[in-house]
Structure 1
Amino acid sequence: MATSEIVDTAFGTPCPDFVLPDAAGRTWTRADLAGPGGLVIAVICNHCPHVRRQMAGLAEDFAALAEEGIGGCCIMPNDWSVYPSDAPEHMDAFAAEHGLTVPYLVDETQAVARALGAVCTPDLFGYGPDLALRYRGRQAELRAAMRAVAAGQDVPDQVAGMGCSIKWRA
């Protein structure tokens, strides 16, 4: 397991527009997912121990933030030919196992993960009501940070998250 730390954060960067399928083939757009208070995108995968350790809290955060008008989704960008447990046919079971209530999307071309600037799993991106990047940090601070973002406040002292490197296609 390679561990990566998030090092670059460009606050104010617009959330990339995207269309991605979930494991069942339903397509989702950024507009479908964003709420009036913003949008949280978690770049995750099934096999990463950092993700697995944080999933219960992340699922709770997504549910609580949804009640406050902040949308969310998870995106799986890994090359599943290298890590078969990350393949789409395993994503719904993983989501159910961890109580995930937001869409879990497949980024097969890895274009969305690259547009986000994702480097690891988990990698959390919090966008404000204007869909500009306002938070990039750890799951432990996500809920409080996104409540501040939705209220138009800055999030001071963001601590970079860390996790397993994304398994990029060759």
Structure 2
Amino acid sequence: MLRLSRQLDYGQPAPPFALPDTDGRIRTLEEFAPAPALLVAFICNHCPFVLHLLDGLIGLAREYEPKGLQVVAISSNWPDEYPDDDYAHMQALAADRDFPFPYLHDESQDVALAYNAICTPDFFLYDGERRLYYAGQFDESRPSINRPPMPGMPPLRTDLPVTGDDMRAALDALLAGLPAPQPQRPSAGCSIKWRPGKDPSWA
């Protein structure tokens, strides 16, 4: 099901996490404290919206790492209906695509709940004090898939290349010490696949 990311209260602190990456190492929010910018990206293996921009996200991570960006990707999907989202497939994808950032497994889905994540991809960009700075789309590009339009929303722009323009504008402003660009347009993607009985009120 198509979902739009939620526009949250900017300035809220990043919730802590302690999750295994695809090498089995536990990664925490605190270990990334030196980075002046932290992008937490909720993604998964199967979602066409994620796959559409994945190369762009990988490229952006490589480009902005020397400027101070740390990217952390998290998969919270319950893989019962989508086996490609299980931990073994996460490990394979991270290796095949040579992820330049850790890819974390949120098996309990507690971290997705803490971040108010709703879709894949869902992006949360934090400043050096780990206050929420940007929670919007990567760019306006969307994959060509057979889905009905969201009520009250314009058609998905499937004719545009993946550029990361919105995220780049936010990163450039953050790293320059400027206010976040406005408006922040929501990301669009597949709904997070919740465990039975785990789905939150906003899912």
Query: TM-score interval w.r.t. the shorter chain?
Result: over 0.9
Distance in 2 between residues matched to 1:153 and 1:46, nearest whole Å: 34
| Partner in structure 2 of residue 166 of structure 1 | 192
Distance in 1 between residues matched to 2:169 and 2:33, nearest whole Å: 18
Question: What percentage of aligned pairs have identical amino acids?
Answer: 39
5 Å-filtered alignment, 1:8-157, equals: 8-139=7-138, 140=164, 141-155=166-180, 156-157=182-183
Distance in 2 between residues matched to 1:34 and 1:57, nearest whole Å: 25
Distance in 2 between residues matched to 1:39 and 1:103, nearest whole Å: 12
Query: Which one has the bigger helix percentage?
Result: 1
1:77-126 Cα offsets, whole Å, 9 max, x none, are 00012211001101122123334210000000101111111000000110
Query: How far is 1:34 from its partner?
Result: 4.2
Query: How far is 1:129 from its partner?
Result: 0.6
Gap runs ≥5 in structure 1: none
Letter of the aligned partner of 1:153 in structure 2?
A: L
Distance in 1 between residues matched to 2:69 and 2:114, nearest whole Å: 21
State the TM-score, normalizing by the size of structure 1: 0.94
Distance in 2 between residues matched to 1:38 and 1:8, nearest whole Å: 19
Q: Secondary structure at the match of 1:160?
A: coil
Distance in 2 between residues matched to 1:109 and 1:103, nearest whole Å: 18
Question: What is the RMSD computed on CA atoms of the aligned residues?
Answer: 1.3
Distance in 2 between residues matched to 1:100 and 1:90, nearest whole Å: 14
Gap runs ≥5 in structure 2: 139-163, 197-203
State the TM-score, normalizing by the size of structure 2: 0.79
Larger radius of gyration: 2
CA contact (8 A) 2:43 2:50 kept: yes
Letter of the aligned partner of 1:147 in structure 2?
A: D
Distance in 2 between residues matched to 1:71 and 1:56, nearest whole Å: 17
CA contact (8 A) 1:35 1:71 kept: no
Query: How far is 1:9 from its partner?
Result: 1.7
CA contact (8 A) 1:126 1:134 kept: yes
Change (3 A) 1:34 1:84: farther
CA contact (8 A) 1:34 1:72 kept: no
Q: Using the TM superposition, name which of 42-51 and 97-106 deviates more.
A: 97-106
Q: Using the TM superposition, name which of 38-47 and 19-28 deviates more.
A: 19-28
Letter of the aligned partner of 2:37 in structure 1?
A: G
| Partner in structure 1 of residue 158 of structure 2 | none
Return structure 1 stretches of 4+ with deviation > 3 angstroms: 96-99
